[in-house]
Chains A and B, each alone.
Chain A
Amino acid sequence: MNDIPKKNILSAQLDLSRFSDEAFVPATEDEKRQQDVMSESTTFFKDGMRKLFKNPLAVGSLVLLAVILITIIVAPMVVPYRYEEILSVNGKRDKGAKNLAPFTYSEMEQRYIDQGGERFPHIFGTDEQCRDYFIRVVYGTRISLFIGFFASIIVLIIGMLYGSISGYMGGRTDLIMMRIVDIIYSLPDMLMIILLKVVLDERLNFPPGSLLDRMGTSMVSLFIVFGLLYWVGMARLIRGQILSIKENEYVLAARSIGAKPGRIIRRHILPNCLSVIIISTALQIPSAIFTESFLSFIGIGVKAPMPSLGSLANAAREGLQSYPYKLVFPAIIICLIVLSLNLLGDGLRDAFDPKLKR
């Protein structure tokens, strides 16, 4: 600092005449870059993803979910048993393979191995009907996740259509549509779900061999029930979003320079709703899994022999005293899935929607 020429020792003014010519060299590229205060321009999506990946909880949940997904995809290819298969050795039914502890073999299997045969280990043991428990848990996880995911998609589609029509039309249409939503919203959802499920399980009939028939009536009625009752929350949310976004200045600005309604919806309204839609869909999945496991528990979930995590946990209550691990495995997996989906949803909300209250 001291060698900078000043007009006066206490002054802040520089004496330009005392500067040598060497002082006036063009700045190097490096020095120029130091002056950059603008960060690189990013898109909304990229910025959100960057924030999401900075959140250790969200990343941990993503990794955990990925591990679970890979396991349930790969395991059925590796494990030579099927979920409804009653174990047999060389074509003979293995009656001793009942309620085996994890990584043990029945007498028949042990003899077979001693004779040089190969037998895939029962990682989680077997259940009371001599079925491999690991593959049942894997299929149960598949089914629970499948239900959670598709139920959320159904809820999303119905809610989005209904909410956006109601929000965009406004006026009388909006009033009537929202009254219907209010009525459905005031019904106690769980009781109505139980009731509908009981009736639909009895009433639904599909032509044998069709896709719906192979999914099973209990599964289809589950989707119908979710579709009938849970969309109202989503519809309200999306309507509210559209109503508030419609009033924004940038929409007015776009309209004033002559943008068409289609362009306004695509460029301005939809991208602004998107974060809320993604977040609430992500949070819908664990609640659907919760509901399914509850229904399975009270005996109106998916039908046997198809397992879901809830029905496996329910079945495990029978031999709780002797075989507690049969409860522990599905219980841990439900908790892990729901926990990581919850944390991921929270992470998504923090990353994509800073305005939304925690």
Chain B
Amino acid sequence: MKSVDNREGSIIVAKYIIKRVLLAVVTVFIICAITFFLMHAVPGGPFNKEKALSEATIAALNARYNLDKPLVEQFLLYLKNLLHGDFGVSLKNGREIGAIIGESFPISARLGISAMIVALFFGTVFGSTAALMRNKLPDRLIVFFSTLFTAVPSFILATLLLLVFCIKLQWIQVWSANSQNYLLPIIALSAYPMAYITRLSKTSMLDALSQDYIRTARAKGVSKFKMIFKHALRNSLIPVITYAGPQIAYIITGSMVIETIFTIGGLGSKFVSAINNRDYTMIMATTIFLATLMVIANLICDLLYKAVDPRIKLD
């Protein structure tokens, strides 16, 4: 009897995973379509430069980059190229966008992942501490700072950190290719998510502490340490996982600003300079790349959430 249940259960899980993956694929397709058609709605072709080109040259260039074909066909060609890992060529410097992403994304990923880990770790630590010491001084301090940091835009925090620690106090060298110090960028990038996770994990910890199984554990004489780490903390972490997905999106957009301020040559700062230079192919490719990344991250978080907590119904 039990094995039948298990098989049915695994079929439901498999169905759910397939459904979510398909949905993610559709989302990515929609993102590609929106991005492509929006970028082609911008007036002026890529070869409208200050230097006048002869008609024959423009026609040849258009034919070379398939710009003479109907828009839908261009879109399909673009998709086909994307699937082959070909993101096209930057309008401004003529380099392969795939290569630009390949060299700058690892820098951003390193920054983003470190910031995410810092935010998750310190967020849950602070949140749980605040919940366990409710209405005492540490709780008050944590609540005060987490409220404060949800009100500071990351670019302002980053600029202030740069001003105080790099320029006024000169404790930390200004970030450059030969003196890489990720400390300030990580602080600036993780402050907002950390504050948010702190608030979230405080509420979920308080919620977990008021549950019946905690009372049972205490009645059984379980040590306080074991009660907190084995029973309360593990349950209070579940809502934090759902929040980690959207936070990744925040970290990706936040890294655009942080990398620009600290002049880190990651994908984020490349994206911002592409926007300022109106480098449309670069904007298009980076948007699709980052958006796909966010969709995948959200998908993984969702699946993980369901995997961690068997009480959640799959729908």
B287 pairs with A183, CB closer than 8 A: no
B276 on the A face (CB < 8 A): yes
A12 on the B face (CB < 8 A): no
A-side contacts of B249, CB under 8 Å:
188-190
B42 pairs with A313, CB closer than 8 A: no
Instruction: Report the interface size class on chain A.
Output: 35 or more
A187 pairs with B39, CB closer than 8 A: no
Minimum CB distance partner of B272 in chain A: A298
> How many Å lie between the Cα of A207 and that of B36 in the bound state?
28
A-side contacts of B253, CB under 8 Å:
190-191, 294
A293 pairs with B148, CB closer than 8 A: no
B85 on the A face (CB < 8 A): no
> How many Å lie between the Cα of A77 and that of B176 in the bound state?
47
B260 pairs with A298, CB closer than 8 A: yes
A199 pairs with B39, CB closer than 8 A: yes
Q: A183-B30, A191-B290 are in contact. Are A294 and B257 (CB under 8 A)?
A: yes
Residue of A190, A324, A335 touching B163 (CB-CB under 8 A) = A324
A-side contacts of B162, CB under 8 Å:
320
B287 pairs with A191, CB closer than 8 A: yes
Interfacial residues of chain A within 73-97, with CB under 8 A of chain B in the complex:
none
A192 pairs with B147, CB closer than 8 A: no
B81 on the A face (CB < 8 A): no
B148 pairs with A339, CB closer than 8 A: yes
For the complex formed, measure the closest distance between the CB of A249 and the CB atoms of chain B, giving whole angstroms. Answer: 26
B-side contacts of A297, CB under 8 Å:
153, 155, 257
A203 on the B face (CB < 8 A): yes
B-side contacts of A290, CB under 8 Å:
153
Q: A191-B253, A191-B287, A342-B147 are in contact. Are A186 and B27 (CB under 8 A)?
A: yes
Interfacial residues of chain B within 268-287, with CB under 8 A of chain A in the complex:
272, 275-276, 278, 283, 287
Q: A190-B249, A320-B159, A327-B163 are in contact. Are A298 and B148 (CB under 8 A)?
A: no
A-side contacts of B159, CB under 8 Å:
313, 316-317, 320, 327, 331
> How many Å lie between the Cα of A186 and that of B296 in the bound state?
11
For the complex formed, measure the closest distance between the CB of B109 and the CB atoms of chain A, giving whole angstroms. Answer: 17
Interfacial residues of chain B within 114-156, with CB under 8 A of chain A in the complex:
147-148, 150-153, 155-156
A199 pairs with B153, CB closer than 8 A: no
A313 pairs with B156, CB closer than 8 A: yes
B163 pairs with A188, CB closer than 8 A: no
A114 on the B face (CB < 8 A): no
Q: A187-B291, A195-B38 are in contact. Are A293 and B275 (CB under 8 A)?
A: no
B100 on the A face (CB < 8 A): no
A339 pairs with B275, CB closer than 8 A: no
A343 on the B face (CB < 8 A): yes
> How many Å lie between the Cα of A125 and that of B256 in the bound state?
31
B272 pairs with A299, CB closer than 8 A: yes
B23 on the A face (CB < 8 A): yes
B256 pairs with A298, CB closer than 8 A: yes
Residue of A199, A298, A313, A339 touching B151 (CB-CB under 8 A) = A339
> How many Å lie between the Cα of A294 and that of B255 in the bound state?
12
For the complex formed, measure the closest distance between the CB of B272 and the CB atoms of chain A, giving whole angstroms. Answer: 5
Residue of A189, A190, A198, A335 touching B156 (CB-CB under 8 A) = A335
A298 pairs with B275, CB closer than 8 A: yes
A195 pairs with B34, CB closer than 8 A: yes
A-side contacts of B147, CB under 8 Å:
339, 342-343
Residue of B34, B43, B275 touching A203 (CB-CB under 8 A) = B43
Residue of A191, A198, A294, A327 touching B153 (CB-CB under 8 A) = A294
Q: Mark A194-233, 1 if CB is under 8 A from B, else 0.
A: 1110110011000000000000000000000000000000
Minimum CB distance partner of A196 in chain B: B38
Residue of B152, B155, B167, B298 touching A294 (CB-CB under 8 A) = B155
A-side contacts of B38, CB under 8 Å:
195-196, 199
> How many Å lie between the Cα of A2 and that of B303 in the bound state?
74
> How many Å lie between the Cα of A123 and that of B156 in the bound state?
22
> How many Å lie between the Cα of A358 and that of B148 in the bound state?
17
A334 on the B face (CB < 8 A): yes
Minimum CB distance partner of B34 in chain A: A192
For the complex formed, measure the closest distance between the CB of B156 and the CB atoms of chain A, giving whole angstroms. Answer: 4
A-side contacts of B156, CB under 8 Å:
313, 327, 331, 334-335
B-side contacts of A342, CB under 8 Å:
147, 150-151
For the complex formed, measure the closest distance between the CB of B140 and the CB atoms of chain A, giving whole angstroms. Answer: 13
Q: A202-B42, A286-B151, A320-B159 are in contact. Are A194 and B275 (CB under 8 A)?
A: yes
- Give 19 new A-B contacts, CB below 8 A, not counting A186-B295, A321-B167, A327-B159: A183-B27, A187-B27, A188-B252, A190-B253, A191-B253, A192-B34, A195-B287, A203-B42, A203-B43, A297-B155, A300-B275, A310-B155, A313-B159, A320-B159, A327-B163, A335-B156, A338-B151, A339-B151, A342-B147
10 sample A-B contacts, Cβ–Cβ < 8 Å, listed by A number: A183-B27, A187-B27, A187-B30, A190-B249, A191-B290, A203-B41, A297-B155, A342-B150, A343-B147, A358-B203
Which 10 residue pairs are nearest across A and B when measured between Cβ atoms? A339-B151, A338-B151, A190-B253, A188-B294, A331-B156, A186-B27, A188-B291, A199-B38, A298-B272, A299-B276
Q: Which residues of B contact A (CB under 8 A)?
A: 23, 27, 30-31, 34-35, 38-39, 41-43, 147-148, 150-153, 155-156, 159-160, 162-163, 167-168, 203, 249, 252-253, 256-257, 260-261, 272, 275-276, 278, 283, 287, 290-291, 294-295, 298
